[in-house]
Structure 1
Amino acid sequence: MRERKLYTNNPMYGGGGGMYDHQMLWSSHPFAHPSTFDTLAVDPALRDGVRADLLRFVRRREHYARAGRAWKRGYLLHGPPGTGKTSLIAAIANLLEFDIYDLELTAVGSNSDLRLLLASTRPKSLIVVEDIDCSLGLFDRTRTSSPGQDDEFDDPAGTPRPLRMSPYPPRGRERISLSGVLNFVDGLWSSCVGERLIVFTTNHVDRLDPALLRPGRMDRKIELGYCKAHALRVLARNYLGDDDRGPADDCRYEKLIGEAERLLEEVHLTPADVAEVFMGCDGDGAPAALQKLVDDLNSKRIARKCAVSNNDG
């Protein structure tokens, strides 16, 4: 019955050694996100595989000790914006009854401060860094150019760019380095608190340095993609319900959802896009909401074909 918490780190610079306690380092709020594995709009095989992996992890304390490994696991969630990365994090916390530490790296002054924050977390927790590629510019050192040069026109307007980092720290204060983040994930300090998940999210997995992605740091990489048939049916159940429909409505419902499933094979919409359509039709009934989705998908399909024809011409 313990109330679970969502923590965020307070700004800190210059290192504080032992003078900081948990309450000074982290601000907390009650965690009450409603997402569960039953409400996730993801492929059922992926959903069930992740759930089984998590339940296996929390049962294996003795196995980790016998193998000489810290009792932790790293997850990398990647995919386009709106594909459910945050919802999956909340569902994991609800499944395992873990607290969440939402770590904002740009508010951490140095590698030593990062270690201090890590050591101050508690067991049964998820340490989350969202948009890791945008936090500190931890992009792939093997690339010949920085992100944003080769793919300048690939991102939608407003997509944050990874910050470029000088190889030299600013005067007067150390900054977090890639080495500091790697040690945070699987160095000696990572073993100071047991039964913990470290979760990174990114929209651009190809931009991250390979050293960050190897097993032992990110043990499982989970790709969350665009909305397909199963995800659509989960969203329809979540937002539109399945009660109080007569035989005629059921027939129309199945016809419309089948048409939407077919169109989603051609048109890329994220689960967040589909949810927004359903939210805008609240109270209109399931068939009306599905008809609106089909109309939107048809409009996007036609616009896409026109754009391809114009480019070919």
Structure 2
Amino acid sequence: MRLTSRERRLYTNRAAAPGEDHHRLWTSHAFSHPSTFDTLAVDPALREEIRADLLRFASRREHYARVGRAWKRGYLLHGPPGTGKTSLVAAIANLLEFDVYDLELTTVPTNSHLRRLLISTTPKSVVVVEDIDCSLDLSDRRKNRGGIVDEDNNNNAQLAMLSPGPGAIGRESISLSGVLNFVDGLWSSCVGERLMIFTTNHPERLDPALLRPGRMDRKIELGYCSPAALRVLAKNYLGVGEEPDDDQDPDMVNGLMAQAEGVLAADVRITPADIGEVFMGCDGAGASAALRKLVGELRRRRDTPAVDAMQPSALTAETME
């Protein structure tokens, strides 16, 4: 009962002087993100698969001990921006009632500091590194060097900071070995019942050493919005599928939903975040008006040449030139 009723916390790491107490490495705030598995705009089958995997993990302490593995699990969430990676992290924390440690790697100066951050976390926690490909250069060494690289003999390859902080010049940087050991080394077993979640928009850029089972046990792709995800969004934002509003014509709402789902099925690429923004812009106008606006936006995208959301727009590219 105490565990269920306790206030869960969102922690973030901060710069600390050498020798500072472990408990001062993190600052915390109350964690109150509203995302749940019932509100996630993802494929229902994938949603239930993730939920079952999490609940199985949380209930298998004895199994992990019996097979000689640390009681932890690693997830890699990948997909275009706006597909719900952060919302899924919050829903996981809410489902398991875990604290969240949001790790900002660009503020970590050394491998030893990274290890201190790890052992200062608590059980029943989710350690999150968002946009890991933007925090550090974790690109595939085999592609960079044009040949096959032995992972075990090259774990000490240095990682270059993309955004080094003040005073970073001349200091020791985090090595690939430090990151790998953080995820799946001897020190990673010091804290049990912990999830390690990395998010990225470009999984192909990451070194395979980071992605192997035991470090990232599950790789979950969150893609563009599907008709099933649209129904979840319509329920969340507009109340579609719940008790009908007296001011709305159910037949009209259902017809507009069918039109929107039909256009989505024609391989129109739009993220849940984009649809949510359309619905937010129609707040108070009613479900019919919001769905009508969405159908117009979907048709516009269908009739417009596709632009890869992961690439700069033509205007941006021209401006850069």
Residue pairs, 1:232-251, within 5 angstroms: 232-241=230-239, 242-245=242-245, 249-251=249-251
**What is the TM-score normalised by the length of structure 2?**
0.84
1:10 aligns with 2:8: no
Q: Deviation of residue 304 (structure 1)?
A: 2.0
Equivalent position of 1:178 in the other structure: 176
Distance 1:171 1:272, change over 3 A: closer
1:200 aligns with 2:227: no
Unaligned runs of 5+ in 2: 147-159, 308-321
Distance 1:206 1:305, change over 3 A: closer
Q: Deviation of residue 274 (structure 1)?
A: 0.2
Matched residues in 1 for 2:170 and 2:28: separation? 30
1:179-213 per-position Cα deviation (integer Å, ceiling 9, x unaligned): 11000000001001000000000000000000000
Q: Deviation of residue 178 (structure 1)?
A: 1.2
Residue pairs, 1:60-139, within 5 angstroms: 60-139=60-139
Matched residues in 2 for 1:100 and 1:305: separation? 37
Q: Is the 1:134–1:163 contact (alpha carbons within 8 Å) kept by the matching residues of 2?
A: no
**What is the TM-score normalised by the length of structure 1?**
0.86
Matched residues in 2 for 1:290 and 1:68: separation? 53
Q: Deviation of residue 244 (structure 1)?
A: 3.5
Equivalent position of 2:312 in the other structure: none
Q: Is the 1:12–1:109 contact (alpha carbons within 8 Å) kept by the matching residues of 2?
A: no
2:83 maps to a residue whose letter is: T
Equivalent position of 1:253 in the other structure: 253
Equivalent position of 1:156 in the other structure: none
Matched residue of 1:138: which SS? Answer: coil
Q: Is the 2:134–2:162 contact (alpha carbons within 8 Å) kept by the matching residues of 1?
A: no
Q: Is the 2:22–2:117 contact (alpha carbons within 8 Å) kept by the matching residues of 1?
A: no
Q: Which deviates more, 76-85 or 248-257?
A: 248-257
Equivalent position of 2:314 in the other structure: none
Unaligned runs of 5+ in 1: 147-161, 307-313
Matched residues in 2 for 1:6 and 1:305: separation? 38
Matched residues in 2 for 1:99 and 1:305: separation? 40
1:260-292 per-position Cα deviation (integer Å, ceiling 9, x unaligned): 112123321000000000000011110110000
Matched residue of 2:63: which SS? Answer: helix
Q: Deviation of residue 21 (structure 1)?
A: 2.4
Matched residues in 2 for 1:229 and 1:125: separation? 33
Distance 1:292 1:123, change over 3 A: same
Matched residues in 2 for 1:59 and 1:257: separation? 40
Residue pairs, 1:146-295, within 5 angstroms: 172-241=170-239, 242-245=242-245, 249-265=249-265, 266-295=267-296
2:250 maps to a residue whose letter is: D
1:78-119 per-position Cα deviation (integer Å, ceiling 9, x unaligned): 000000000000000000000000000000010000000000
Matched residues in 2 for 1:230 and 1:122: separation? 37
Matched residues in 1 for 2:54 and 2:144: separation? 37
Distance 1:305 1:208, change over 3 A: closer
1:204-232 per-position Cα deviation (integer Å, ceiling 9, x unaligned): 00000000000000001100000011110
1:226-252 per-position Cα deviation (integer Å, ceiling 9, x unaligned): 001111000000000133335971111
Identity percentage of aligned residues? 68
Q: Is the 1:73–1:196 contact (alpha carbons within 8 Å) kept by the matching residues of 2?
A: yes
2:299 maps to a residue whose letter is: N
1:179 maps to a residue whose letter is: S
Q: Is the 1:12–1:108 contact (alpha carbons within 8 Å) kept by the matching residues of 2?
A: no
Q: Report the aligned-residue RMSD.
A: 2.2
Aligned pair count?
284
Matched residue of 2:142: which SS? Answer: coil
